[in-house]
Amino acid sequence: MVDQLTFAEENRDRIQAVENSFGPSGKPLYRPSRVLIGEGRLMKQSRRGPQPRVFFLFNDVLVYGSIILNGRWHKNQQIIPLEDIQLEDLEDGVKMRNQWLIRTPRKSFYVAAASYEEKRAWIEHMEECQSRLLSSGRRRSSAFAVTWIPDEASAICMRCSTKFTVTQRRHHCRKCGFVVCGGCSKKRAVIGHIHPTKQLRVCGICHSGLLTTEAQAQGTTRERGDSTGKTGSDEDEGEEYSEVEVEERIEDHDPSRWMDSQIDSWSTYVYLKPEHLKH
């Protein structure tokens, strides 16, 4: 009993420390049933190339953010429910070793650990926590965002073959993840599992496909006699999508490169071994 109380106090202090590290812009993280399982740094693939990010694994969510002030402070907090995550193990790439793919409804991305052992620890602990949640009745997400093709993967638009230049910049279709030019991505559409109301950038081909799907869905609704007439609001419903919005504003093509020297400055994955979760 004393050990359980001690662990509860230590766990609360750990979560409070994580919460405080994101400052006033971060969302509250402490809940009586929430347990901090582990923490560490991973390289996350972004439009500018692999970037270090801090990750915190809880028994019900995965939290990550950007690192500032030598890791003492963080920003751009992202919180992902574990039931909304799908993991895919990957072989080593040319630029990313010890990597795997994290799929979520709103965003899918590659991450890499400093060693194979840390990679396996992250994956196994995430899967264990997710399994407990699903066995307790949580529903698994059925739709996931595509993984964006990195900027450096194509020197031309993947729809019209226009060459990218200083003035002809790269963009991404939120539906297929292709690297496309501005002319091929003028259309906007709602992609429900990414955002329920926001009009997102899509290429012309995906836009046509979404219109066809929407028309078919409306036809089915009319056949069923559904006449609620409910429409979405343009408001954000209080939710934050800071990382997605930041990447939408990135226009310069400035990919960083995977360097062995980056690994030396990583902090290792810390597994807190919450024994009480076994029961």
What's the number of CA atoms in the CB half-sphere (13 Å) around residue 113?
Answer: 22
The tens digit of pLDDT for each residue in 52-91 reads 999 999 999 999 999 987 667 999 999 999 999 999 999 9
Report d(CA 13, CA 228) in Å as an integer.
48
Q: Which fold has domain 151-249?
A: Herpes Virus-1 (3.30.40)
Beta bridge partners of 53: 42, 66
Report d(CA 188, CA 200) in Å as an integer.
5
More confident residue, 275 or 232: 275
Q: Predicted confidence band at 6 (pLDDT cuts at 50, 70, 90)?
A: confident
Q: Predicted confidence band at 1 (pLDDT cuts at 50, 70, 90)?
A: low
CATH code of 2-144+257-278, in short, is 2.30.29.30
3-state secondary structure of 80: strand
Element (H, E) at 123: helix 116-135
Q: What is the pLDDT of residue 72?
A: 79
Q: What is the pLDDT of residue 279?
A: 44
The predicted model scores a pTM of: 0.74
Element (H, E) at 222: helix 204-224
Q: Is the pLDDT of residue 146 over 70?
A: yes
The pair of three-digit structure tokens given for residue 138, joined into one six-digit string: 């949580």
Q: What is the pLDDT of residue 213?
A: 74
Q: Predicted confidence band at 48 (pLDDT cuts at 50, 70, 90)?
A: confident
The pair of three-digit structure tokens given for residue 260, joined into one six-digit string: 């062995």
Q: Which is nearest to 93 in space by CA: 112, 109, 108, 107?
A: 112
The tens digit of pLDDT for each residue in 214-254 reads 777 666 555 555 433 332 322 333 344 445 544 444 333 33
Inter-residue contact 18 to 56 (CB < 8 Å): yes
The burial of 190, by beta-carbon neighbours within 10 Å (0-12 exposed, 13-18 middle, 19 or more buried), is given as middle
CA distances from 231 to 188, 208, 236 (A): 17, 21, 14
Q: What is the pLDDT of residue 2?
A: 55
Mean pLDDT over the full length of the chain:
81
Average pLDDT of the segment spanning 180-186? 95
Q: Where are the domains of the chain?
A: 2-144+257-278, 151-249
